[in-house]
Amino acid sequence: MQTPEVLLLNFNKTLEILLKSSIILEDYEIEENLIRIYKKTYLSQVFFNKYIIAVSGLQGVGKTTFLKNLYDLDDNILEPNIGRGEKIPVLFSENESIQKPTFSLTYFEKIEQKTFINEIELSNNEFNKKAKNPNDRDLYLEIKLPYKLLNNSTASFALLPGFESSNEEFQNILFHSLISSASCIFVLDEMRFADYRNKNYLNLIMEKFSSANPIFILTRADQSEDDNQELLENFKRQYANIEDDRIIIFGIGKEYKEKYLPKLNDALLKYVNNNFNFRKVQLEQLNKIIIESRPILDKIEEKLLNLKIENDFRNYEVENYLKVLREKIESLRKDFSKKLFSNLNTKGGEAKDKIEEYLYKKNWLDIIKDKFRRKFKVHKELEDIIKKIWNEVDSNNISLNNSIEDILLLNGLLIMESKNKNSTENDKLIKYESVPTNGW
């Protein structure tokens, strides 16, 4: 039996093919809906294939500051307030082979009307700009760091956008990223703890993520008069079932780091192991997304069916035209051949009679018999007489071009434009009209 990860991989491959092929549908709405679904399922694939610890909370509570302090990052990386309005996850991944931070972006790229997922390296400055202002085709940013805390290239922290209620699609991505993570860290501060939005968010966390054993970080202890002790007591009072070692006080400075870092290491080792109950929540969320994709897939199927019917009809119609056209060409060929020979026979017979009559009247037969007398002169005179008689016959009969014109007009296939008075027979233009489907 295939694992959910394998099934998800196959599903995403199908979505990728559909997305690349959607150009033939010429339907912007279908393409956008496919991208919306693919964003979620591709993030699930990335998060399932790595060990992701999501870092989330309200905007401005210190999530970015916490992760930067954890890895001793310079101030010019993820500049202050970068989390405000952020719309895509930022992965903090450790790699044994690198010595300094590197930056990248994974995004949807459109090449020749086909959409692909691509990854590009960014400079520090480009990374900061993209984090401040991502577009709707960006999937996630990533900072690759030397080994420090996780010491595992398949594990990452994921800095998620701040929770807000104003953007539904934005929050769908946030919620989906949380569900897809192996575990989560929720960040809050003293000032926002009493905020109703924070309470709603915490209640959601307790409802959906309690089985994931989330870790709670109480930030800005260095700005608090009592090092967040009052915040700690209030939090414990409201959420009494949370173990003490899952609540960690964080502040800027060496003395705070010496306290919080060992506690965080112990909590990660103890609580980030994914359990069966949270795994069930993840698969239920994934199933919802696949069900959500069903109407889009049905619409694609309907569009493809319509295209097939349309193309089949067009192919039948074209074949029908070609069949009738072939029959008419053959008919024209026979009519032309018949009229051509009739024309030539008529003309030839008249010319023969006139030549015989002329020769008889002029007594040319007696002259020709005298083979020694004015041989070449007589030959030339006879040739001129025959040509003259032939042309006289031609002027009294239908020309070959007129014969062709009559045939075409009678069959209704082509319409000859009226001749200009100054144009010659060869200057006639032929204009193709639409071919009738019946009545031939």
How many other CB atoms are found less than 10 A from the CB of residue 74?
A: 9
Mean pLDDT of 341-350: 62
Is 399 a residue whose pLDDT tops 50?
Answer: no
Query: 3-class secondary structure for 24-74?
Result: HHCCHHHHHHHHHHHHHHHHHHHHHHCEEEEEEEECCCCHHHHHHHHCCCC
* DSSP reduced 3-state for 302: helix
What average pLDDT does this structure show over 399-405? 46
* Least reliable range by pLDDT among 124-128, 254-258, 368-372: 368-372
Which residue from 225, 234, 150 is spatially nearest to 188, judged by alpha carbons? 234
Between CA 172 and CA 167 the distance in angstroms is: 9
- CB-based burial of residue 286 (10 Å sphere; 0-12 exposed, 13-18 middle, 19+ buried)? buried
Integer Cα distance of 104 and 119 in angstroms: 7
Q: Which CATH class is domain 50-274?
A: alpha beta
**Predicted confidence (pLDDT) at residue 402 exceeds the cutoff of 60:** no
pLDDT of amino acid 191: 87
State mean pLDDT over 134-159. 92
Token pair, residue 94, equals: 């450790």
Q: Sorting pLDDT into bands at 50, 70 and 90, what band is 308?
A: low
- Measured CA to CA, the distance from residue 214 to residue 247 in angstroms comes to 9
AA identity, residue 158: A
pLDDT tops 80 at residue 140: yes
E strands, 325-418, where?
A: 414-416
Whether the pLDDT of residue 179 is over 60: the answer is yes
Q: Give me the chain's average pLDDT, please.
A: 76
Rounded-to-10 torsion of CA 128, 176, 211, 55: 10
pLDDT given at position 55: 94
The pLDDT value given to residue 285: 80
Judged against a pLDDT cut of 70, whether residue 158 lies above it is answered with: yes
Query: How does pLDDT run across 281-291, given as a tens digit for each residue?
Result: 778 888 888 88
Tell me how far apart the alpha carbons of residues 205 and 119 are, in angstroms, rounded to a whole number. 32
pLDDT at 262: 95
Residue with more model confidence, 58 or 304: 58
Given a cut of 90, is residue 259 above it in pLDDT?
yes
Q: What percent of the chain lies above the pLDDT cut of 90? A: 29
Three-state DSSP state, 127: helix
pLDDT at residue 29 in the model: 85
Q: Which residue has the higher pLDDT, 128 or 374?
A: 128
Helix axes 276-362, 4-21, angle to 10 degrees: 30
Instruction: Read off the pLDDT band of 403 (50, 70, 90).
Output: very low
Is residue 322's pLDDT more than 60? no
Does residue 415 surpass a pLDDT of 80?
no
CB 213 within 8 A of CB 271: yes
Q: Where are the domains of the chain?
A: 50-274, 326-432
Select the highest-mean-pLDDT range: 6-15, 304-313, 336-345, 408-417: 6-15
Q: What gap in Å lies between CA 267 and CA 159, rounded to an integer?
A: 18
Which residues does residue 93 pair with via DSSP β-bridges, in sequence order? 144, 156
* pLDDT per residue as tens digits for the range 193-228: 877 777 888 888 888 788 888 999 999 999 999 999
pLDDT over 70 (residue 391): no
| Nearest-5° Cα angle at 295, 290 to 298 | 110
Residue 293 predicted with pLDDT over 50: yes
Who has greater pLDDT, 223 or 300?
223
What percent of the chain lies above the pLDDT cut of 70? 64
Q: What per-residue confidence (pLDDT) applies to 180?
A: 87
For position 390, what pLDDT does the model report? 58
Q: Is the pLDDT of residue 396 over 50?
A: no
**DSSP 3-state of 179:** helix
Residues in the chain: 440
Which residues sit opposite 58 in a β-bridge? 163
Q: Where would I find the beta strands (DSSP E) of 194-237?
A: 215-218
Tens-place pLDDT, residues 62-114: 999 999 999 999 989 988 764 455 678 999 999 999 999 999 999 998 887 77
